[in-house]
Structure formats: C-alpha cells, structure tokens
Amino acid sequence: MQRHRRNPLTTRNEIPSPVTTPAPPVGGAGGPPPADPLTTVALVEDSAMMRRNLERLLRRAPGLRCVSVCASAEEALEQLPRTRPDVVLMDINLPGLSGIECTARLKQLLPAMQVIMLTVYEDTTNIFNALKAGACGYLLKRALPAEILDAITTVNNGGAPMTSEIARKIVMTFQSPPADATETAHLTTRELEILELLSRGKVSKEIAESLAISYHTVRVHLKHIYEKLHVRSRSEAMVRFMADKGGGAPPR
C-alpha cells in the first residue's frame, strides 16, 4: 500500500528552530551596504501556523535570507518596497486584497522581483490570473519543503517552477479545442457578460451583485452556458471562452 508523504509545513509538528543566518555587515559610514550574497525572500501568508513554519524553513536554508514576513497583502505592499526581496512566496486567499492583486501591484513597483504563488487553489482561472499578474511560479501548499526551496532557486535562476499538476492543467488548457463559432454565437449578451466576469475570478455571488441580478438567475445563466458550450464545469467553460477570444490567460 502506498503511503502518503507527510508535509511538515501543514502540521503542528513544526520544523525545529533554526540557527539564524547572520546578516552581512553593513558598509562603512556614508557608503552603501555591500551586495547581499544570499537570495533574499519574503513571505506573504495569512495562516499563522503556515507562516511560522515557512519562516523557519527559509531561515534554516543555506543561501537564503528571509527579509519580510507579512500576514496580508496590505502589509506586503508597505514592507516589500523597503526590503526589496529577490523572491516572494505569495498566498492567494488573503484577507483584504487577494494575493493575485498584491502581485500585480508589487510587480509595478518592483518589476525585477520574482513571485511564486503558494496556494491551495488549482483551478485554471486562478492559475492564469496569477501568471498574468506577474507570478513566475505556482506551487500547491502540499509541496514538500525541499520542493519549495528548489522552486526559489529555480525562479531566481530564470525558471518558472510549477507543481506538476499545475503544469499539466496549463498544457491541457492550450490543447483544448476552441469553441465552434456557432456555439459562441448562440450565447446571449448576458451570458457573455457572466463569462467575462468569471474570467476575472468573480464567483456567482459577486457576479449577481455586479450585474444587479439574483444569485439564482446567475445559476440559471450558467446552466444555459454549459448546455450551449457542451461543457460540465466552470473551468471547461472558461477554457472555451478564452480559446474563442484568441487563447491565453483570462483578462484581469
């Protein structure tokens, strides 16, 4: 019988306390500090347990220096322009602004900064929105500590690390046949509006509020969309919609 791998980052048996890597000495009076020989990393995560375990992982890893630990997007937008990390591990589901919106804003301020999404979400909408916002990597939280550290090294060397399941979803999306012109031509203006909002990451309740219609009406429209596009889920509908618009990631 195959045994499931235990992930120490998501359990209460935390990683042992590390030996803190000393910060490099600051340059002489009046001069700039020397270039940091370590890869600087920031963490944006609202779960206290996950945040604590990831911070300990980063601080004990050779070649890395943890420079910021933030519990929200707002905190990250305040701290990271000052600490200027090389790499950021970013959760998506944060209180207030989402990790995707935070990534987009940070990339405007620090375009050279590399962002790796570290999340539980593996749907194509979140994947594409995160990548379009500027993320260079996408890992699921069930990734093992060694995989997270490898991803930091990879992204810092110009790569695009992704959990294997995520990479597979992206490949399948671009291999999916586009919707027939006759299928999309049968969609009503309202149905197209709902698909557009779905592509921006909106859920049914938010779509209902945006269009000033009831939640039940949104569900009825979605049912009709599935029937017309011959799909069974929102992800499949989004793939057809994106392909018909010319392919690529959903608009933000």
Q: What's the pLDDT band for 192 if we cut at 50, 70, 90?
A: confident
| Domains in the chain: boundaries | 37-172, 177-244
Candidate ranges 48-62, 157-171, 188-202; pick with highest mean pLDDT: 48-62
Question: Is pLDDT of 111 > 80?
Answer: yes
In this prediction, residues 126-155 reach a mean pLDDT of: 92
Query: What whole-number distance in Å separates Cα of residue 178 and Cα of residue 162?
Result: 25
The residues, ordered by sequence, that sit 6+ positions from 226 with a Cβ below 8 Å of its Cβ are: 232, 233, 237
Long-range contacts of 19-24 (CB under 8 A, 24+ apart): 19/60, 20/59, 21/59, 21/64, 21/65, 23/65
For residues 91-115, give the mean pLDDT: 94
Tokens of 157: 């060397």
d(CA 193, CA 38) in angstroms, rounded, equals 48
The CATH fold of domain 37-172: Rossmann fold (3.40.50)
47-51, 210-214, 226-230, 237-241: range with lowest mean pLDDT = 237-241
pLDDT (tens digit per residue) in 9-26 = 666 555 444 444 444 444
CB-CB contact of 158 with 176 (8 Å): no
Is the CATH number of domain 177-244 1.10.10.10?
Answer: yes
* pLDDT (average), residues 60-73: 96
